[in-house]
């Protein structure tokens, strides 16, 4: 059972009420968040969840603030989730002209590796939709390069998503020891 969409932290009490019943039924529970969690919120959720996915939207605080958040809050949340022993995965939507520079992707990968080289990092493609018709779509080559940057930084589990058949081995989950 996963609480997601918009920002589920604003309905954490409701999520815990649902998770309580889900856990009694034997279902594991998780959270998908923008990463603006506090220690208190994570401690409130911790007894009920086993996993937490954070959207890390870039590594430039000025641009992060244009989205209504701050980079420090999100990086702190990544650390706090990891410290609490929850299964943590991080996703970065690679948006051309916003967060797709090699320098910024390297900073994200370096940060994640500093927390743990075992954090799975998903790099996914932006695509034009509805009223957001700019910038251009992220290419498979851009996703592959982002995944390579993650691996070069020492991350052991890097995946390029939402471009099936176009990103080679980066779309598959493989055992590190057996391949």
Structure tokens belonging to residue 94: 């690679």
Q: Region 32-55: what's the mean pLDDT? A: 95
In CATH terms, the superfamily for domain 2-171 is pyruvate-formate lyase- activating enzyme (3.80.30.10)
pLDDT in tens, 56-68: 999 999 999 999 8
Give the three-class secondary structure for 100: coil
DSSP string over 26-85: T---EEEE-S---HHHHHHHTTT-SEEEEE---S-HHHHHHTT--HHHHHHHHHHHHHTT
Q: Does the structure show a pLDDT above 80 at 131? A: yes
Count of Cβ atoms closer than 10 Å to residue 9 Cβ: 20
Q: In this predicted structure, what is the pLDDT of residue 94?
A: 97
- Residue pair 59/78 in contact by the 8 Å Cβ criterion: no
Q: Which helix (H) or strand (E) holds 18?
A: helix 12-24
pLDDT band at 8 (very low <50, low <70, confident <90, very high): confident
Higher pLDDT, 138 or 68: 138
143 touches 94 (CB < 8 A): yes
Domain coordinates in residue numbering, the chain? 2-171
Q: Per the structure block, which two tokens stand in for 96?
A: 């051309």
Cα distance between residue 112 and residue 97, in whole Å: 22
Cβ-proximal residues to 125 (8 Å cutoff; 6+ apart), any chain:
93, 94, 137, 138, 139, 140, 142, 143, 161, 162, 163
Return the pLDDT at 132.
83
- State residue 174's pLDDT score: 75
Predicted pLDDT of residue 9: 77
Least confident window among 36-45, 66-75, 125-134, 151-160: 125-134
Residue 48 pLDDT level (bands cut at 50, 70, 90): very high
Peptide bond into 135 cis (omega under 30): yes
CA angle (144, 147, 152) in 5-degree steps = 125
How far are the Cα atoms of 66, 94, 112, 150, 155 from residue 172, in angstroms, in the given order?
33, 18, 20, 15, 15
């Amino acid at each position: 059972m996963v609480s997601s969409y918009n920002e589920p932290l604003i309905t954490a009490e409701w999520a815990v009420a649902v998770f309580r019943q889900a856990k009694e039924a034997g279902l594991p529970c998780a959270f998908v968040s923008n990463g603006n969690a506090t220690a208190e919120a994570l401690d409130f959720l911790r007894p009920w969840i086993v996993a937490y996915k954070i959207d890390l939207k870039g590594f430039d605080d000025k641009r992060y603030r244009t989205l209504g958040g701050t980079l420090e809050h999100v990086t702190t949340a990544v650390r706090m989730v990891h410290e609490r022993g929850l299964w943590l995965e991080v996703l970065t939507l690679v948006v051309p002209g916003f967060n797709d520079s090699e320098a910024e992707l390297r900073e994200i990968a370096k940060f994640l590796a500093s927390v743990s080289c075992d954090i799975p990092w998903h790099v996914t493609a932006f695509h034009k939709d509805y009223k957001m018709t700019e910038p251009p779509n992220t290419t498979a080559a851009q996703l592959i390069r982002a995944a390579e940057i993650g691996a070069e930084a020492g991350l052991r589990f890097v995946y390029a998503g939402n471009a099936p058949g176009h990103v080679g081995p980066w779309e598959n989950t493989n055992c590190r020891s057996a391949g």
